[in-house]
Structure 1
Amino acid sequence: MHCGTLCKANMAAACARSLSKVGWDLLDSPAAHRPGTLSYLLGNASAHGSRRAYSTGGTGFRSKLLSSARAGGGRVLGCAFLLGGGLGLYQTLKRSAQQHLAAEETNVSRFSTEERSRGGLKLTLYQYKTCPFCSKVRAFLDYYGLPYEIVEVNPVMRKEIKWSAYRKVPILMVDGELQLNDSSVIISSLKTHLINKMSREKNLSEILRCYPEMKSTNDRGKEVTEYNNKYWLMLNENETATVYPKKEMQTEEMKWRKWADEWLVHLISPNVYRTTGEALASFDYIVREGKFGSVEGFFAKYVGAAAMFLISKRLKSRHNLQDDVRQDLYKAVNDWVSAIGKSRQFMGGDKPNLADLAVFGVLRVMEGLQAFDDMMENTKVKHWYNRMEKATLNHEGSAAAKSSH
């Protein structure tokens, strides 16, 4: 299945779910007519909403919509959100079911049968195409030439991972038995395995025990799962010296991998939904490509665009970003390029390291969007990015992977 179709299905489903949630909250809330209620409910809905948009464009209906929200037409607006979300969800589920049937028939794979027959691990990646953490894992697997199959998870029903107690993506299944969760754990454990396999010191199950799972409550009162040591490779002294000839190389790689997870990834959504024009254009694209009817398309485009624009503002506030969030993106990307310096092609030197793969994986989910084009035009990242794209497409790290078979 073409990845663009999957992107549109995921995006439309997540947005429809957000609209329905907002609609029910507006209708049920006794404070539906009080000023500020809309912003509050949209903030709550953002935890369930989509974090992607497409392209940029004009404005139009949004000023009337937002002014009516401020005037307190809560119940009417609630009906609009509910109807728009419900109709959009129906269209998405119908379309998504057709797509998933097609996907099951083709069983999407990144490599040929001949390549898979060479031996090694059988890898199956459960993902959302537009998830930056999933993109990180794909960048790693592609660079090292590791054959893997993709199962695209339906963001509404998530039936593809109903067997898993861990309800997030990415999930990587190894040989149909061993489950790896969390993108950084997946990357660290597989990289350790590739190195250890030469000396046969540890198998992958033993390596995975070095990344224990811990549950805690975050500052918003939500239970979260974290993994200790996830930026470490579990190597002996000789292996460490081989992989990191200079001691500072290991520290630098870990620092920037963590930076990609804890800072860079949070710049994506606010930049994608930066303006009402971008939000409107994204929903216009979804409606057009998703073949919505006129009524469904009206609510999905105008109500949905307003909702996601307001949600993006909440995300901007949560992460203390500037009013012009592009400037945060530009600064982050230029900081990364400056850290690499002029004497290296990659953070890893002549070849990408795990930090290169992580940053590349996060940034490439914006490809095709105005935010990506602006980033390439207004920062110094273009040459590094093009080198990374070539390295992953050509599986330039595959020599190390093959030597471990």
Structure 2
Amino acid sequence: MAAACARALSKVGSGPVRRFGSVSYLLGNVGPRGSRRAYGTGAGFRSTPIPVRTGGGGVLVFLLGGGLGFYQTLKPNQNQQNRADGDAQVSGGPKLTLYQYKTCPFCSKVRAFLDYHGLPYEVVEVNPVMRQEIQWSSYRKVPILMVDDQLQLNDSSVIMSSLKTFLISREKSLSDILRCYPEMKSRNDGGKEVTEYNNKYWLMLSEAETAATYPQKDTQKEEMKWRQWADDCLVHLISPNVYRTTGEALASFDYIVREGKFGTVEGFFAKYVGAAAMYVISKRLKNRHNLQDDVREDLYKAVNDWVAAVGKNRKFMGGDKPNLADLAVFGVLRVMEGLQAFDDMMDNTRVKYWYRRMERATLNHEGRSQSQQ
């Protein structure tokens, strides 16, 4: 189906062209301002303190972002501008707005993609209880990426796949590309309706574009496999590790309080009540995902499996440059930075050199040349 969709797209004419720096955005049939079209769901989280991840059919505690977003009810929301070049956003270019929880691993994936490709964007921190920031949307998860406040992209993997497709295939409109990720609804074992989206790890490219993007045999399948692994396996190890002990739970919420810049009373409530709740829930997650008594061992094994898959002869899984799997894994892992789990991972696995290369690649926007071709 994905291949058929890619072939069909090659016959689609170009829509209106908007420029963002030297990047052309083909928005296709975008409705008038205020008319929002939603595409994709899946690997995000519901905007509640303990969201449900529908894609895997299980409950996944939203490690830090849920807590941070919850306690944003106590203070006014502030928007943050992220600029690829440190200058003002290019006049007349499309506006990218990312609705997120700051420490959500899925939101971090999207930021890693945008940063690596040097695409300026604004960040809106979403309150998962009140949800005022996304009250205009029937879609109640993050991340959401809005283009010009009109075209709505949902699900971290759909966002990355569709934007990457667009950066490669400039003759296709983004709205047409998004139609290749159709919605699928079903009911889980508990009878609850869940929504997934087909093809979300595929790029919708022509045969020639695919050959140019993946010149070596099986690299496309490898990228898709490890992107899905990041969503379905790696993220399940984060919460049990950052809330492994009462001390680590307190340290995690101390980090949340610092990032949120709370007052004394607000910070006390966030740190101690939130840490106690998440410590208890992390134990349930350990049992749900059949983790070892020492959940660090599961984290170490998963990270070393990733490093082994990258191999000794490649800087990244994508070779000399990160691919979407590199960006996905990096985005998930970096939400632990500043916590004991992250330090232990860096000291007890072989991930350090790959991680530092990824850090430089995103910080320096090393994929910007691909976006400007």
For 2:90, give the aligned amino acid. S
Distance across 1 between alignment mates of 2:201 and 2:308: 22
1:162 maps to 135
Q: CA deviation at 1:309?
A: 1.3
For 1:155, give the aligned amino acid. P
Residues 1:323 and 2:303 are matched in the alignment: no
- Provide Cα deviations, 1:204-243, integer angstroms capped at 9, x if missing partner: 0100000011122223443322110000000001000000
- Provide Cα deviations, 1:6-31, integer angstroms capped at 9, x if missing partner: xxxxxxx97xx67xxxxxxxxxxxxx
TM-score normalised to the size of structure 1? 0.72
Residues 1:337 and 2:307 are matched in the alignment: yes
**Residues 4-403 of structure 1 correspond to what in structure 2 (within 5 A)?**
50-52=62-64, 93-94=73-74, 96-97=75-76, 100=77, 103=78, 108-111=81-84, 116-117=89-90, 121-197=94-170, 200=171, 202-283=172-253, 290-293=262-265, 297=268, 301-403=271-373
For 1:261, give the aligned amino acid. D
Q: Residue 91 of structure 1 contacts residue 292 of structure 1 at CA under 8 Å; is this kept in 2?
A: no
Structure 1 or 2: larger strand share?
2
Q: CA deviation at 1:311?
A: 0.6
For 2:311, give the aligned amino acid. G
TM-score normalised to the size of structure 2? 0.78
1:76 maps to none
SS in 1 for 2:229: helix
Percent of aligned pairs with the same amino acid:
72
For 1:320, give the aligned amino acid. N
Quickly say closer, same or farther: Cα 1:152–1:287, change in 2 above 3 A.
closer
For 1:357, give the aligned amino acid. L
Q: Which moved more, 1:127-136 or 1:146-155?
A: 146-155
SS in 2 for 1:108: strand
Quickly say closer, same or farther: Cα 1:238–1:283, change in 2 above 3 A.
closer
Distance across 2 between alignment mates of 1:322 and 1:90: 30
Q: Residue 115 of structure 1 contacts residue 147 of structure 1 at CA under 8 Å; is this kept in 2?
A: no
Q: CA deviation at 1:114?
A: 5.2
Q: Residue 69 of structure 2 contacts residue 126 of structure 2 at CA under 8 Å; is this kept in 1?
A: no
Distance across 2 between alignment mates of 1:272 and 1:90: 18
Q: Which moved more, 1:231-240 or 1:175-184?
A: 175-184
Unaligned runs of 5+ in 1: 1-12, 19-45, 54-84
Q: Residue 89 of structure 2 contacts residue 120 of structure 2 at CA under 8 Å; is this kept in 1?
A: yes
For 1:254, give the aligned amino acid. M
TM-align CA RMSD: 2.8
Quickly say closer, same or farther: Cα 1:192–1:324, change in 2 above 3 A.
same
Quickly say closer, same or farther: Cα 1:399–1:293, change in 2 above 3 A.
closer
Q: CA deviation at 1:283?
A: 4.3
Quickly say closer, same or farther: Cα 1:277–1:122, change in 2 above 3 A.
same
Q: Residue 98 of structure 2 contacts residue 122 of structure 2 at CA under 8 Å; is this kept in 1?
A: yes
Distance across 1 between alignment mates of 2:200 and 2:225: 12
> Which structure has the larger Rg?
1
Distance across 1 between alignment mates of 2:61 and 2:231: 19
Distance across 2 between alignment mates of 1:207 and 1:338: 33
Quickly say closer, same or farther: Cα 1:287–1:346, change in 2 above 3 A.
closer
Distance across 2 between alignment mates of 1:49 and 1:325: 15
Structure 1 or 2: larger helix share?
1
Distance across 1 between alignment mates of 2:312 and 2:134: 44
Quickly say closer, same or farther: Cα 1:132–1:285, change in 2 above 3 A.
closer
Quickly say closer, same or farther: Cα 1:223–1:139, change in 2 above 3 A.
same
Quickly say closer, same or farther: Cα 1:346–1:48, change in 2 above 3 A.
closer
Unaligned runs of 5+ in 2: 1-46, 51-57
Distance across 2 between alignment mates of 1:287 and 1:364: 18
Quickly say closer, same or farther: Cα 1:275–1:145, change in 2 above 3 A.
same
